[in-house]
Structure 1
């Protein structure tokens, strides 16, 4: 019985010594979990003491089989757990202070899920202007594990743009990484700011304000296009009328020179004989020649006529 009492006293003294030693080493302060771009970092502040002791720190990660050390006997005030975790896992972290072989109590964090607590840094934004239009080219921030769309699926962008020097901002929500700004005026300065929308209600850090002077426009005004179309129509109409009139009068002239009416065969023979007959002898003064005169009658027969018309020449 006395031996048991002696053992209990010794054990109590050992526990008391350990407790005193732990109380002599202060714990880290302001312990916080930081997750940016799917990374996982534990940060803390050194203990507030009057003596500037060279504290060391050990940080551990709780896995399936308990805590595993990640940063041991380190003077840094941060410990990066990114390479030791998965994106969709849930983890608990802890850290303690060490001084001359003595340690403080552990300071544990709450259980955290990387994909739920992570913050996304600002996207990269470039502006290009051509023919009076301004295009926004957005590049997703690089992730420490995988990429943004693989983790969060369909993301979108919140775009704010405004005329430089004015406070009124226009908001656009787009899923495309290249967006043409609507209703911008040529030769005006515009500024753009972009945020990434993910997890339905979370936004990334805003991008830097990017400004660009819009280029001059080569587009023709709508009213001028209408006038040009009207003038073109009138020119084509006048050209068609002139061509029609030229063809018509050419046809009429051709018909005057080469009429459609055919002479009777006996008249053609008579004219042919007259053209082949020898030239008449010269007529002497005082000589009277008697030329026979014959009456010539030409009949013209027209189709679809009930009666034939008779002309006497």
Structure 2
């Protein structure tokens, strides 16, 4: 305390402070200015990159502009946040060294702490990494109909940690991105519905295929359903000799998520066309025989497929 009241103490303190201001303060000011310039430069670069990518998505007719914009904003936001964390970390370390603080033990402690957190939160980190690559590779978008780990539904929300599906019954399913083993997207770029049409063995296969083709053309020319169909119906031909039917396979390509509406309408029209042309759609028959020599109350029932 007595030393603090002497002029020698204050003179020494003033000279050390003045020396620190002359030697270290300009470096700190330059460091702060450099940090601000780098943050502005990175923000500008990422903003320009975002605009370029969005314009490229708008010019590509095969890409959903709204979903592409969401994905681009998400990814660029992640890049910007990560870059800021790195810059601020480097700035704090250099600033502490300017004040004469030994950053070695701090870095060692941070490494040990990061290792502990990494072991404890490895599942969380895995979810975020999987979600990042899911968005980066455009595997799935909001509004797609997908099957994840055997569960199908409409994608309502995509986040870095989870993906949310709602099935046809209204049940919401939430999956951790890191635990997704298989994902099947049924509505990416285009969709299709496959028909396995069964007719009786007595029918003319060529006639049946011609009727199927004509029904597909009429559906494509329909003002309501035509805009949803992107290609004429494909009649693959006789696909199988089943127990009670000849199976003819066909496929109809549509815009994403429109295949079920078009498929239901096609089946309705095909049934009407089969009825008009007396084309039999096979079904199980039951034949009842009345015994003559046996007790007339006994029935013999035979199933014919």
TM-score normalised per structure 2: 0.24
- In our comparison, the structure showing a higher alpha carbon Rg is 1
Q: Which has the higher strand share?
A: 1
Indicate the structure whose relative CO is greater, using CA pairs within 8 Å and at least 6 residues apart: 1
TM-score normalised per structure 1: 0.23
